[in-house]
Structure 1
């Protein structure tokens, strides 16, 4: 029942990466230009400079995603976290988050930040459970961002 694995991104998974993120963003918010540049071109906008994407595979289907993006001076952002509704409740989101944080530790990061929206209560609870805490909000490319969280590794 919980037969899922966390796998690293490969270019053949770009359509799944985009589909899963468009699904949740469009359901609750507005898809923004910064979303589309990352979702359409992850090799250019996420993966450089030690960025990473992890995917959750359930049987033969990609059902979840998470990215770790090197944003330069502001450090690394946990982004594009999504689990399709039919696969939620199996611990996939938590395992994706932990995979990204493990990778962050492996490459020597001391902290990771994320932006979200207070209406995403389930996601915020997950982030708190793995150790993220709220920090002051800074200017964001996302209109929907109304909370910033950070974790010390």
Structure 2
């Protein structure tokens, strides 16, 4: 994820506040503090913090530069968006699914449309099922549902 100018400025301010000796570097402890100050979910174990250093090529040095922090924050924000998207897809899937089959069927899709006051013909609903149902078994499983959403860019 590309950081905006405002995001970079906020990161820079936090970085400078924690770089008390004005070295242009943060150690693991201050990296953790910086990420927390930015409101990010941060790794909680020393091993996870070390992995962040490995990810930006700083495992030997044990410190990060401002550019490293930009990279780390960008990656953490991307992961957060990916997780949020995945959670939203799971929630949508559950709303449309038949709980006994753990999949979307014609009947469960029709019921969801009625609840939402959406008017689709049976033919249109069958067509939706046919397009998404890769296994052609009448039940759309989560991977099939996810594939369709990914395919249309959502």
Q: TM bucket by the smaller chain?
A: under 0.3
Kindly indicate which of the two structures has a greater share of residues assigned to strand. 1
Question: TM-score, normalising length from structure 1?
Answer: 0.22
Question: TM-score, normalising length from structure 2?
Answer: 0.22
Larger Rg: 2
Kindly indicate which of the two structures has a greater share of residues assigned to helix. 2
